[in-house]
Chain A
Amino acid sequence: MLQNKGFRFFSITTVCIWLGVFALLPNMALFLVSFLDRTDTSFFIPVLTLDNYLRLFAPAFIRILLKSLALACVSTLTCLILGYPFAYLLARSNRRVRPWLFLLVIIPFWTNSLVRTYAIFTILQNNGVLNTLFNRLGLVEGNFSLMYTNFSVFMGLTYTLLPFMILPLYASIEKLNLRLLEAAKDLGAGPVRSFLHVTLPLTLPGIAAGSILVFLPSLSLFYVPEILGGINYRLLGSFIQYNFSKGANWPVGAAASTVLTLLLLLMAVFYRLAGRNEREGGAAALSAPGGQTAPARVERG
Chain B
Amino acid sequence: MGLERLNPAGTAPGEKQVESRGGPILEMRGVSKNYGSTIALHDVNLHVANGEFLTLLGPSGCGKTTILRLFSGFETPTRGELLLNGQVINDIVPEKRKLNTVFQNYALFPHMTVRENVAFGLRMQKRPKDEINRRVREALHMVHLENLADRRPAQLSGGQQQRVAIARAVINNPLVLLLDEPFSALDFKLRKQMQFEIKHLQRQLGITFVFVTHDQEEAFAMSDRVVVMNEGYIEQIGTPKEIYEEPESLFVARFVGEINILEGVILEVQENNSYLAEVEGVVFPLRTRREFARGEKVRVLLRPEDIKIYHAHEVSAPSRFLQGRINESVYKGATVDVSITLDNGTKIQSAEFFNEDDADISYNAGERVSVSWVAGWEVVLDHAAE
Chain A residues engaging chain B, CB cutoff 8 angstroms: 177, 179-180, 182-190, 193, 197-198, 201-202, 277-278, 280-282, 284-285, 291-292, 294-296, 298-299, 301
Contact = CB atoms under 8 A, between A and B. Distances in A.
B17 interface: no
B295 to A, nearest CB: 56
A188 B154 contact: no
Contacts of B8: none
A281 B125 contact: no
Contacts of B148: 294-295, 298
B124 A193 contact: yes
A183 B111 contact: no
B101 A201 contact: no
B152 interface: yes
Nearest to B119: A187
B111 A188 contact: no
Interface in B88-130: 93-96, 99-101, 103, 105, 107-111, 120-121, 124-125
A94 to B, nearest CB: 13
Given A188-B124, A198-B109, A296-B157, A281 B100 contact: no
A41 to B, nearest CB: 60
Interface string B167-178: 011001000000
B172 A187 contact: yes
Given A188-B95, A282-B154, A183 B124 contact: no
A201 B111 contact: yes
Given A186-B94, A197-B120, A202-B110, A281 B152 contact: yes
Q: For chain B, which range describes its interface: under 10, 10 to 19, 20 to 34, or 35 or more residues?
A: 35 or more
15 contacts: A180-B107, A182-B101, A186-B72, A186-B94, A186-B100, A187-B95, A198-B109, A202-B110, A277-B111, A280-B152, A281-B154, A292-B157, A294-B148, A295-B157, A299-B160
B98 to A, nearest CB: 10
Contacts of A284: 152, 155
Q: Which 9 A-B pairs have the closest CB atoms?
A: A281-B152, A281-B154, A188-B124, A187-B121, A179-B107, A183-B107, A285-B155, A295-B157, A185-B94
Contacts of A277: 111
Nearest to B159: A299
Given A182-B107, A185-B93, 12 more contacts: A179-B107, A180-B107, A182-B74, A182-B94, A185-B95, A186-B101, A188-B96, A188-B121, A202-B110, A281-B154, A291-B155, A294-B147
A201 B105 CA distance: 21
Contacts of B172: 187-188
Nearest to A280: B152
Contacts of A186: 72, 94-95, 99-101, 103, 169
Contacts of B95: 185-190
A160 B160 CA distance: 48
Nearest to A187: B121
A281 B109 contact: no
Contacts of A285: 154-155
Contact of B190 (A179, A190, A201, A299): A299
B315 interface: no
Contacts of A201: 111
B157 A281 contact: no
Given A299-B159, A299-B190, A184 B154 contact: no
Contacts of B124: 187-189, 193
B232 interface: no
A291 B152 CA distance: 11
Contacts of B157: 292, 295-296, 299
Interface in B167-221: 168-169, 172, 190, 193
Interface string B127-145: 0000000000000000011
A230 B73 CA distance: 58
Contacts of B93: 185, 190
Contact of B168 (A179, A187, A301): A187
Nearest to B96: A188
Contact of A187 (B105, B120, B154): B120
B346 to A, nearest CB: 47
B111 A179 contact: no
B220 to A, nearest CB: 24
A76 B159 CA distance: 43
B103 A183 contact: yes
